[in-house]
A = this chain, B = another copy of it.
Amino acid sequence: MVKKDDYTQHISAQFNTELEDIRSNFLAMGGMVEKQVVDAITSLLEADSRLAEKVQAADKQINQMERQIDEELVRILARRQPAASDLRFIIAIGKSITDLERIGDEAAKVARYALALAEEGESPRGYVESRHIGNQVRAMVHDALDAFARFDADLAFRVMQDDSAIDTEYKTSLRALMTYMMEDPRSISRVLNVMWVLRSLERIGDHARNISEQLIFLVKGSDVRHTSYEEIERKLQQDN
């Protein structure tokens, strides 16, 4: 005979499996997105048009994954009455997949500019900056996902701080590129393409930061969007 308690536990175990599935689908989507960022930057730096085209084509799969996870989340919300902590998890994932999808969009844009730049011929101007900022945002995406995988709010906080560092470097790079343009107006079109790349990379950093904010909300229960670093640090220390 199945006792009520068994039944409840069964339901709950099934629910756990559903949540675990969502978590692993989210991380799988994250892994794909991270690969897109890496490939997009590589296609740019190595003027590899074939790789750039691959990145553009793979963007559809990421969109597809977002829809699929989104549907799973809605199904869970409709069928279960998630407790507060599960609800927080479902909401954090729901918001974070939007950011992942947009990171994918920006990677596809970088690939588009990589194609344009490969056609126009080599443009070493701004490539140092692209490589540098590119490596950093790619690490941010990795760390944001890692923070999610390990429920590590401290790591997520470091991603938020990295984002501020990148914003500063981004502005410095833009000024450097502007100087190149003025020195050599014939390079304007090429240098602009590099600027758009940097812009996309900077946005990828923003999205990684958003994902990190969601993770902190999930782990600590406090909404750290639009909050000063000092205040976030205080909150993180309080709970440790």
Contact = CB atoms under 8 A, between A and B. Distances in A.
Interface of A: 60, 63-64, 66-67, 70-71, 74, 77-78, 81-82, 84, 87-88, 91, 94-95, 98, 178, 181-182, 185-186, 188-189, 192, 199, 223, 225-226
B226 A60 contact: yes
Given A74-B87, A78-B84, A182 B178 contact: no
Q: In terms of DSSP, what is the predominant structure of the interface of chain A? A: helix
23 contacts: A63-B225, A63-B226, A64-B226, A67-B226, A70-B223, A71-B223, A74-B87, A74-B88, A77-B77, A78-B87, A91-B94, A94-B94, A95-B98, A98-B98, A178-B188, A178-B192, A181-B181, A181-B188, A182-B186, A185-B185, A185-B188, A188-B188, A199-B199
Contacts of A182: 185-186, 188
Nearest to A185: B185
Contacts of A81: 81
Contacts of A74: 87-88, 91
Contacts of A94: 91, 94-95
Nearest to A186: B182
A87 B98 contact: no
Contacts of A77: 77, 82, 87, 91
Contacts of A71: 223
A123 to B, nearest CB: 15
A35 to B, nearest CB: 20
Contact of A189 (B70, B178, B186): B178
Q: Which 9 pairs from chain A and chain B are nearest by CB?
A: A185-B185, A63-B226, A81-B81, A181-B188, A182-B185, A78-B84, A182-B188, A78-B87, A77-B87
A163 to B, nearest CB: 14
A103 to B, nearest CB: 15
Given A67-B223, A94-B95, A178-B188, 7 more contacts: A74-B87, A74-B88, A74-B91, A77-B77, A77-B87, A78-B84, A182-B185
